[in-house]
Amino acid sequence: MSILSKRVILTGGAGFIGGNLVRHMLRAGYHVLNLDKLTYAGNLNSLADCKGHPNYSFRQVDICDVEALASAFQDFRPSAVMHLAAESHVDRSIDSPDTFIRTNVLGTYQLLHQARLYWSSLPEDQKSCFRFLHVSTDEVYGSLGGEGLFSEESRYDPHSPYSASKASSDHLVRAWSSTYHLPVLITNCSNNYGPYQFPEKLVPLVILRATRGETIPVYGQGLNVRDWLHVSDHCFALQTVLEHGECGETYNIGGNNELKNIEVVQTLCDILDRTYPAKNGESYKSLIRFVQDRPGHDLRYAIDSSKIRTKLGWQPEWSLSSGFQQTVEWYLSNKSWWESILNGNYRLDRLGVGGK
Ligand code: NAD
Ligand code: TDX
């Protein structure tokens, strides 16, 4: 990809991974048009430092809005799309699956359709360089037992409305590759953590509830396992796949950092005990409570990321201990960012306990 063609439409850029990726791609010399609907999870405060950057622009766009998408493609003339816009929280998908189907399935369809119309109109040299990178999740593969890893060949077996909607979107992207030869790439990544994550997710939820002296809810017995990756390592992986991935291929991304949820919570409490000791002198672990399990809770996710490591040379830079430490410190020093969220509708409450 030549420097002149580094023009990316990035959807969902006001979210957690999207915001980190906007910053990452600007640093890598790209022009970025961020298309985001600004749902509860979209937050332009996360991009305050990008405002005014000569290579950055933003449009408040719903990816289901055909006209808005069409004019974004025509006006910006991208050389690539990085598609992250989605409803992303499993617990919310249990309460209200409809928005997940709308955005993740229908929205991805509309984006693919508009991308294809635009791509078809390009001259041959630009057409062959164009890429549509679809950012997806390891949750499409379902749940592992005690052994084994998800590879790119693993069977799809999604269990939550969220993962089923992401699986559907992956299938649509593959269909656009097979049927229309749209040059697509798909990534399936494990659990991300790091700065700017909306506090409904486990890591920020634990940090914020603990420092506010509130109980820390651990679903079931806390024995479910997730594979954790720092968001900046995910961003590097996405740039790597965009620039060097083979069209039509899928790349799994993971950190080889498997932890039981209870271990995640205890590790975060240990870091907080050292970094921000509780005023009553007790360990934050005294706030841990085992609560009703998530319905359909997948037991274990673990990623075999050898394909992206061996074929594209990517590897994560953050260790779990340094990444968790940095994340705790970020939330402690960016109180105004999360306070403005908690002054809205979301107050760190339990979500997804059975559907409405
Ligand atoms: P997030 O919820 O923090 O952000 C999602 C963003 O998408 C928000 O800015 C929101 O406003 C925007 N959005 C939602 N609906 C939209 C619509 N209809 N039109 C335009 N914008 C819309 O999510 P995240 O954690 O940053 O995840 C980003 C992507 O990465 C998602 O596709 C998710 O499935 C995938 N992913 C996330 C993780 C993770 O651990 N967070 C892991 C693997 C894959
Ligand atoms: O309060 C909690 N207590 C708890 O025990 C919360 C919010 C979660 N959990 C458990 C459920 C999961 O096993 O912690 C684990 C992590 O939960 P989440 O942070 O909600 O993430 P998860 O459901 O694993 O999904 C995440 O990783 C894959 C992202 O939200 C998805 O967008 C991504 O695709």
Structural domains in the chain plus CATH codes: 3-193+230-256+300-318 (3.40.50.720)
Catalytic site includes residue 249: no
Best mutation site among 134, 258, 294 for ligand 2, i.e. most ligand atoms within 8 A of its Cβ? 294
Collect all residues with Cβ–Cβ distance below 8 Å to 135 and sequence separation of at least 6: 17, 82, 83, 84, 187, 189, 238
Asked whether the whole model's pTM tops 0.75, one would answer yes
Instruction: Determine if ligand 1 sits within 6 Å of the CB of residue 103.
Output: yes
Q: Whose CA is nearest to atom 34 of ligand 2?
A: 137
What's the rounded Cα separation, in Å, for the pair 189 and 166? 12
What does 2-15 look like in DSSP terms, one character per residue?
-GGG-EEEEETTTS
Instruction: Determine if ligand 2 sits within 6 Å of the CB of residue 46.
Output: no
Instruction: Determine if ligand 2 sits within 6 Å of the CB of residue 47.
Output: no
Instruction: Determine if ligand 2 sits within 6 Å of the CB of residue 90.
Output: yes
Residue 153 Cα to ligand 2 midpoint, Å, equals 24
What's the rounded Cα separation, in Å, for the pair 356 and 73? 38
Calculate the alpha carbon distances from 113 to 19, 65, 87, 241, 256 in Å.
25, 12, 20, 22, 36
* Minimum-distance ligand 1 atom for the alpha carbon of 139: 43
What's the rounded Cα separation, in Å, for the pair 284 and 293? 22
* Minimum-distance ligand 2 atom for the alpha carbon of 200: 7
Q: 185 and 132 in contact (C-beta within 8 Å)?
A: yes
Residue 224 Cα to ligand 2 midpoint, Å, equals 10
Catalytic site includes residue 98: no
Instruction: Determine if ligand 1 sits within 6 Å of the CB of residue 64.
Output: yes
Instruction: Determine if ligand 1 sits within 6 Å of the CB of residue 16.
Output: yes
Residues of the chain with pLDDT under 50: 1-4, 356
Q: Which two tokens stand for residue 68?
A: 């808005």
Catalytic site includes residue 339: no
Instruction: Determine if ligand 1 sits within 6 Å of the CB of residue 137.
Output: yes
* Minimum-distance ligand 2 atom for the alpha carbon of 91: 20
Instruction: Determine if ligand 1 sits within 6 Å of the CB of residue 79.
Output: no
pLDDT at 356: 45
Residue 56's beta-bridge partner residues? 32
Whether the CA torsion 148, 216, 344, 21 is positive or negative: it is negative
Best mutation site among 17, 87, 232 for ligand 1, i.e. most ligand atoms within 8 A of its Cβ? 17
pLDDT at 277: 97
Catalytic residue among 162, 193, 219, 251: 162
Output the average pLDDT for the chain: 96
Residue 139 Cα to ligand 2 midpoint, Å, equals 11
